[in-house]
Structure 1
């Protein structure tokens, strides 16, 4: 067997397998572009070696076989594929062949988008829909009548009159982009299979054995031609489609006539430019000789008409090799994997990199370094890895591993965690994102960190906008927020856009920010999950920066509205050496947080032993069991040293076992004792001296601001109320103490009046402030 014959057999086998996966399983393993290349190679080899052409070659038929679960339908007129044009010259050659075949100098063509869906045939008898069928292998398809009837824009009875007694309509069943997104979201929420693209979703939906499932899917139909018909309808293709539209059948809104091949090319370019804005996926444009008589004169080849061609867009999916995976650090610290690819042209652009989103996506894809992968590029969207061709995986493929240190600054890389507690059990759930914890010193995060640091509600450096921050970072003048306080006027003056006055104003504004409130300073640091309100809680409760920086996550959970996830983020931020270094530099360079003092009296001796035991998260030890353990042992040291028999005297067997296992773990035992010691150091321990809270005049009260205030901003008013001990809420309830209503107050004022809540206008409130 010679080389050409061997290659022909290999290509036939490969194409048959791809056809089976595409048409029967609806699970294509290679992109369309790869299939087209294999098909063209086989076709060229068979043309050069016609003695080896057989009737079962993929070049002699269309698609695959019918599913055995459906009855079969034989098409009276075969449903043939179209020839493809991939380059402009291919289209010019098609036009030349058409003009030569018709012996005409010009030809009129119909132009319409090539929808990316599933080709179907609808048979109408006396205007009634009697059958729906898939294309199948072109000669025999599958009877999907029940499912087709569920598609909303397929008429069950034709409108008007004058239709042929027998009318076979051919078209495409597809799914819009929006429908596809809704379907995948619903599938994911229900724990079902999601689809790779709208074409797969449409095909899978149309070929459900349960038509109720098909009915629930957002399928649509668009007709593009006719098959068998008992009498002619019109003398042009577009005339046929217009008449079908009159009878209630949907046709493309983009349908146009071109009187020359140049107009066809212009149509192709125009649709290509609008492709991403269309509501549905298309993979090219179909051009057909418009005159029906001319179509009949040109006739057919073995598998395609001579009077039509599909001009494909550059492939949006391609095969290539994953050479490696690098990790990039985003402006929020997220460490994300980026695929480094063997360069390949996708949608007309050479692609060497693609996104892998996050490590959960890497796991879902099962991708390894060295794999052959399918990548997709749609318009300006960043190319992404869609699928792994596992059958091509090399023996030396390597797993993708997340770096332990940030590739930019060397800080620790940690995986985000969610902590859940239920029925005495604590569960740590890993998040999808890995993050560099060196926020203040990581160059990748630096610009965003400084923009936040100087913002109005943080350090409030007037005149230091985003563009100036970018200049300062790009020129190397600022490598951390602390460097702002070493800038000189001469350095700023050398930057583009600065003059004597503007440079002096910026330096003065930076100097003016050296004494922020403690809450503003904490907020400015940009600790993940710590907004303005949480920063205020930390400042009011713990009183000074040293306690806030030292506080262990479990201790932080004693503060109002700080849960375990937020406490974890705060603790990890201050544990990171890079962040502590920047804070030390800020203090050394004259930044002095104001309002520091003692621990708030509310938290002095506020803890209990049983409360601490309950907070440790020991399985099966809830508040009740914690109370019993506290009563029996009296101290954490005794509890940690207790044997199983002693524990069993206080609590149930499984709780006793859980306590013993907890304290047998040395790191957990050490941490628990360290937490207790910190409670002593802070004055929060149950053995500490309780102090009476200094009575702020509005302590314990909830106030609401509504309408427009004229004498101060809403933020200034909120700050005044909070300084007096009030909590400022965004909505009115029965627990609201007072509502301050300025001009324009609406629903909040109405609700306050309905509930009988005290209401003050701005003048009354300002007068009241004067008495505090």
Structure 2
């Protein structure tokens, strides 16, 4: 086979894989194989530059930057759509269509003629036109003012799912495809994360990111952005394709054009409304942003009969969702105190309706976010609300800033207890040094003497995933604290009937039920109890790791930071947080009181066999903060001197027989400091006590079938709860994660699965529906 033939073969194969991946959502090869084929084609074209054609899959990388975009006049104007905001608006649209087509509208004795409408989500992106001549992409243009747009040909060629040459055959000699360029939610998050890493500009929302990316003068920048295209119709065309709008789109799909997977045909206006409510309910779960639904008369003959108004077609309408973003005024910034004492700014807003809900408050996260926004009290701000997500301040409209705008200041004392508020410090530990910098969080130092921290600590302690004390909601906890009946979680277990019954909302039955729930909570698993303690940075997963690995509360509470880092997913910073929590005298007292008042921890035992005799002396030396000494140097040191005591006592001559001069000097200087030698000996002693020491007895490990695998649950499950599914997977050894990555082994997707399912498809990860998942569990 000649190189020229192989080039043609590779192009055809890659085009087909692009079509299956982007249009059909049915990838037939893994990403690695696609990359291999792409590299082979690129290498062959580099050897034969005369064979490179504009429609080759390699020609999506972008060209030299343009000085400006040229203008393009649309042969057929790209008109905007009329809008419907209420159900009555959509019904009025249907009435106008019916009358425009001179169809019977119905009366008391009949429903009249029903019109079929195409239904598809209104993507929140940038409208573009793609012009194909003899099946080849020759031009891309923005909508612009509807009559004149900008030539973005070099940029649209970089979008992965835009076919550079149409598939199959039978396409018209001239075909203008119209659609939306957009960015998925996952792609938007990745882009902003990468922008932050390099100190670049972040984008307010996916639409702005898509528009900004597509209008780059340097197409190499566009090529690096995760843009996608979705076709929603055609403009100029030299011959008819189908008799319906959906027929056109289905044919375009056969020619390689991506169309909406949510495309449907409604047989009447009632089905249109059902579609609108259904997709509205699933809106936040979709992998992309939408701001409404587009309904079009499906018959092309009927569209031609209805025609156009001055600026919009009479046969189409956009039924908008309630706005997710609105402008309002920042009236003040107040500060709330959380469970760990974090003093968090909260925006108090002039009430405004966002996505159908009146919003008066919004999160500001921390003072670094206030500074990033450049926020001042009195500013006009853009508020965003999506689904059940807490409203956020997205942007300040600085041109509307009043002269009397005020800076936002952190209070010097806690707004709840009056204790001092201090800025946290970030301690970064690395080889031989410790770097201290200011953190983003301000914290009240009042601890449990602060009513807000005490209330939040107890609310966390009794929550469903912690001690699961039913009947103790936020209001009840606040009453218990305010009445002086509870000053620590341990006090819950001293409550009597007379204490509870006098609280607002409690009577004899509810008081007895609460006391029974408190009594029933006295036998928690070790993992639940550790999570309930509210250790900073220790969530459910870390609590499970601690319980499973070390096996007892005593070992967890005694563990040194250096020992904790032997456990999976426990870094040095978290290890120091855990150690510091159990070193605190107040925390030790509360834990002791809890045990004295009847708590009996379940599932306690020995150190997990996986960690028995799991350490090495060289590994332990490498974990110490000895400058210049990594794993290789540590192994040489141990091979020469044999024991920790010998290494501590070694002089320069002994050390230089194992290491270079710089390393030897670093080891000698390190252990000359008594606290370093004491720490190292304490770590070794604890490894011995826990049975993790290299000289300890090695125990056989019974492997779990899913050990080492990461699974993700998304969507709703109908035959079991997500928690039940998670427990079953963890019992089989799997780690259950909340996000999809290249390390994910399998995704379980129930109805309503959104961006996680899309990302799994993008990465070629195995996906099971609920029925397949249940069969899998039954086979274990």
Question: Per the alignment, do residues 736 and 368 of structure 1 end up closer, same or farther by CA in structure 2, a change over 3 Å counting?
Answer: farther
For residues 138-194 of structure 1, what are the alpha-carbon distances to aligned partners after superposition, in whole Å with 9 as ceiling and x for unaligned?
222222222212222211222222211111111111111112112222222232222
Structure 1 window deviating more from structure 2 (411-420 vs 224-233): it is 411-420
SS in 1 for 2:399: helix
Query: Which consecutive residues of structure 1, in runs of 5 or more, have no partner in the other structure?
Result: 1-66, 514-520, 542-555, 592-614, 616-678, 703-724, 749-772
Structure 1 window deviating more from structure 2 (528-537 vs 439-448): it is 528-537
Question: Per the alignment, do residues 442 and 234 of structure 1 end up closer, same or farther by CA in structure 2, a change over 3 Å counting?
Answer: same
In structure 1, the partner of 2:355 is 347
How far does residue 117 in structure 1 lie from its aligned partner after superposition? Answer: 0.8
Question: Per the alignment, do residues 445 and 119 of structure 1 end up closer, same or farther by CA in structure 2, a change over 3 Å counting?
Answer: same
The structure with the largest alpha-carbon Rg is: 1
1:194 aligns with 2:202: yes
Question: Per the alignment, do residues 584 and 263 of structure 1 end up closer, same or farther by CA in structure 2, a change over 3 Å counting?
Answer: closer
* Distance across 2 between alignment mates of 1:232 and 1:226: 11
For residues 572-592 of structure 1, what are the alpha-carbon distances to aligned partners after superposition, in whole Å with 9 as ceiling and x for unaligned?
9999xxx979969999x999x
Is the Cα–Cα contact under 8 Å of residues 136 and 165 in structure 2 kept in the other structure?
yes
How far does residue 296 in structure 1 lie from its aligned partner after superposition? Answer: 2.2
Counterpart of 1:251 (choices 247, 254, 259) is 259
The within-5 A match list for 1:24-173 is 69-105=68-104, 106=113, 107-173=115-181
Aligned length: 529
Is the Cα–Cα contact under 8 Å of residues 132 and 138 in structure 2 kept in the other structure?
yes
The within-5 A match list for 1:182-581 is 182-420=190-428, 427-447=435-455, 449-450=457-458, 465=469, 467=471, 474-475=479-480, 476=483, 477-481=485-489, 483=491, 487-488=495-496, 491=499, 528=536
* Distance across 2 between alignment mates of 1:130 and 1:201: 25
For residues 287-345 of structure 1, what are the alpha-carbon distances to aligned partners after superposition, in whole Å with 9 as ceiling and x for unaligned?
22222222223222222222222111111100000111111222333221111111111
The within-5 A match list for 1:594-605 is none
* Distance across 2 between alignment mates of 1:274 and 1:525: 36
Structure 1 window deviating more from structure 2 (403-412 vs 377-386): it is 403-412
SS in 2 for 1:183: helix
SS in 1 for 2:698: strand
Question: Per the alignment, do residues 258 and 499 of structure 1 end up closer, same or farther by CA in structure 2, a change over 3 Å counting?
Answer: closer
Question: Per the alignment, do residues 411 and 581 of structure 1 end up closer, same or farther by CA in structure 2, a change over 3 Å counting?
Answer: farther
* Distance across 2 between alignment mates of 1:501 and 1:297: 69
The within-5 A match list for 1:606-685 is none
SS in 2 for 1:147: helix
How far does residue 360 in structure 1 lie from its aligned partner after superposition? Answer: 1.0
* Distance across 1 between alignment mates of 2:437 and 2:494: 43
Instruction: Report the TM-score, using the length of structure 2 for normalisation.
Output: 0.58
Instruction: Report the TM-score, using the length of structure 1 for normalisation.
Output: 0.59
Counterpart of 2:685 (choices 668, 680, 700) is 700
How far does residue 213 in structure 1 lie from its aligned partner after superposition? Answer: 2.3
For residues 116-135 of structure 1, what are the alpha-carbon distances to aligned partners after superposition, in whole Å with 9 as ceiling and x for unaligned?
11111111111111111111
How far does residue 505 in structure 1 lie from its aligned partner after superposition? Answer: 12
How far does residue 255 in structure 1 lie from its aligned partner after superposition? Answer: 1.7
How far does residue 492 in structure 1 lie from its aligned partner after superposition? Answer: 6.4
Question: Per the alignment, do residues 491 and 298 of structure 1 end up closer, same or farther by CA in structure 2, a change over 3 Å counting?
Answer: closer
* Distance across 2 between alignment mates of 1:295 and 1:158: 26
* Distance across 2 between alignment mates of 1:262 and 1:538: 61
For residues 190-236 of structure 1, what are the alpha-carbon distances to aligned partners after superposition, in whole Å with 9 as ceiling and x for unaligned?
32222111111111222222322222222111111111111122222
SS in 1 for 2:92: helix
Counterpart of 2:697 (choices 738, 748, 758) is 738
For residues 36-63 of structure 1, what are the alpha-carbon distances to aligned partners after superposition, in whole Å with 9 as ceiling and x for unaligned?
xxxxxxxxxxxxxxxxxxxxxxxxxxxx
Question: Per the alignment, do residues 328 and 246 of structure 1 end up closer, same or farther by CA in structure 2, a change over 3 Å counting?
Answer: same
SS in 2 for 1:192: coil
* Distance across 1 between alignment mates of 2:271 and 2:472: 50
Question: Per the alignment, do residues 278 and 394 of structure 1 end up closer, same or farther by CA in structure 2, a change over 3 Å counting?
Answer: same
For residues 671-701 of structure 1, what are the alpha-carbon distances to aligned partners after superposition, in whole Å with 9 as ceiling and x for unaligned?
xxxxxxxx9xxxx999xxx99x9x99x9737
* Distance across 1 between alignment mates of 2:186 and 2:210: 13
In structure 2, the partner of 1:761 is none
Is the Cα–Cα contact under 8 Å of residues 472 and 514 in structure 2 kept in the other structure?
no
SS in 2 for 1:738: coil
Is the Cα–Cα contact under 8 Å of residues 152 and 215 in structure 2 kept in the other structure?
yes
Question: Per the alignment, do residues 211 and 736 of structure 1 end up closer, same or farther by CA in structure 2, a change over 3 Å counting?
Answer: farther
In structure 1, the partner of 2:659 is none
How far does residue 412 in structure 1 lie from its aligned partner after superposition? Answer: 2.7
How far does residue 88 in structure 1 lie from its aligned partner after superposition? Answer: 2.3
Is the Cα–Cα contact under 8 Å of residues 487 and 507 in structure 1 kept in the other structure?
no
* Distance across 2 between alignment mates of 1:314 and 1:83: 16
RMSD: 4.8
1:726 aligns with 2:700: no
* Distance across 2 between alignment mates of 1:420 and 1:156: 49
Is the Cα–Cα contact under 8 Å of residues 372 and 389 in structure 1 kept in the other structure?
yes
Question: Per the alignment, do residues 405 and 485 of structure 1 end up closer, same or farther by CA in structure 2, a change over 3 Å counting?
Answer: farther
